[in-house]
Amino acid sequence: MRARLGLGTYRCRDVRRDAMMAASLGADWVDTAANYSHGQAENALAPVLVRHPDLKVSTKVGFIPADTGRIAVRAGMLTPADARRGHCLAPGYVAWQVTRSARRLGRAPDIVFVHNPEHDCPPGAVTERLYAAFLALEEACNQGVIKAYGVATWRGFSSGVFDVADLVALAVRAGGLNHHLSAVQLPVSVVHLAPVGLALDGLGVLVEAASAGLEVFASAPLHGGEIPDMVGLELAELITPGSTPAEAALAVVASAPGISRVLLSTGNPQHWSRAADAVGRAPLSQDLLRKVTDVLGT
């Protein structure tokens, strides 16, 4: 299955404007989080979702905006200590936050990602933290508050804290064989090439997720905008003749085995259209991907 371009709102300066732009140009997915845009990203997306009812949306639970923390403490859903830490996956808070997110978005999120479960957590405690969160998310799915859930992580896979088999086993434990775990999200770029190199050898998170029937969302495909400075014109020409370094880098990510969606943050219509074209082209050959990983390293 060919990867699709989705809007990632982490770096968007004006979430509503940027989401409206992306949707008007054919985007079918927007990814956000309860803590993005100082806790206001979900509210900003609500009118966009009304205007574009076919646009799917994912959000995240874990990191706590300051104002949300104060509200949750008053509601008895967070301890003051958890609010000060700024991250919580206790089942009571997860259930409360996903209901709040659905209300702010104006609809049930298509996916709620557990946001960096490894954050400020001893490695040995991550499994039970995830299990408790999965229990709450399974109940939210059964109640129709959300449609599915996943795990979004910056270093959980790369550091070996957990793997796809661990996540699937926890989902089965929490929800049975008909569990609602549907996706993972992780950084994939020419900076974070290790998942691509492993996938070319039939190994690693991308292949494991695809085998488990999970969608893979590639975050930070341009590594915060640093990619154009790393991919020279000669390498870009090798990857996709006539493309810019950014377009070539996006083509690499979109061509990686197992990638379902590439999340790009931009408010520029021209950048979006060129990125959508780069992601939508026929995948690069595995031989070419190997050359890129050899040149840039994994």
Q: What is the CA radius of gyration of the chain?
A: 19
| Predicted confidence band of residue 236 (pLDDT cuts 50, 70, 90) | confident
Cβ proximity of 34 and 65 under 8 Å? yes
Beta carbons of 94 and 133 less than 8 angstroms apart? yes
The answer, yes or no, to whether residue 229 has pLDDT greater than 70, is no
Residue pair 30/64 in contact by the 8 Å Cβ criterion: no
Helix (H) or strand (E) holding 242: none
Can you name the residues that pair with 112 across neighbouring β-strands? 59, 149
Q: Return the exposure string of 29-49: e unless at least 16 CB atoms fall within 10 Å of the residue's CB, then b.
A: bbbbbbbbbebbbbebbbebb
What is the H or E stretch that residue 57 is in? strand 56-61
Confidence of residue 298 (pLDDT cuts 50, 70, 90): low
286 pLDDT above the threshold of 80:
yes
CATH architecture of 4-296: Alpha-Beta Barrel (3.20)
CA 22 vs CA 28, 55, 94, 130, 252: distances in Å: 8, 10, 29, 32, 21
pLDDT tens-digit map of 84-110: 999 999 999 999 999 999 999 999 999
The reported pLDDT for the residue numbered 69 is 95
- The strand pairing partners of 264, in sequence order, are 7
Q: What is the mean pLDDT of residues 271-277?
A: 96
Section 213-233 average pLDDT: 84
Predicted confidence (pLDDT) at residue 122 exceeds the cutoff of 80: yes
Q: What is the pLDDT of residue 257?
A: 95
pLDDT computed for residue 295 by the predictor: 85
Any idea what DSSP says for residue 224?
G
pTM of the model: 0.96
- Residue 228 pLDDT class (50, 70, 90 cuts): low
Task: Please state, in angstroms and rounded to a whole number, the distance separating the CA atoms of residues 166 and 114.
Answer: 14
Q: Which residue has the higher pLDDT, 227 or 276?
A: 276
**Residue 144, pLDDT above cutoff 80:** yes
Q: What is the average pLDDT across 191-199?
A: 94
| Span 11-68, pLDDT tens digits | 999 999 999 999 999 999 999 999 999 999 999 999 999 999 999 999 999 999 989 9
Q: What angle (nearest 5°) sits at the alpha carbon of residue 61, between those of residues 100 and 169?
A: 125
The rounded Cα 57 to chain-centroid distance in angstroms is: 11
Question: How much is the mean pLDDT over the chain?
Answer: 95
Q: How confident is the model at residue 1 (pLDDT cuts 50, 70, 90)?
A: low
How far CA 129 is from CA of 49, 78, 138, 164, 295, in Å, comes to 32, 15, 14, 16, 39
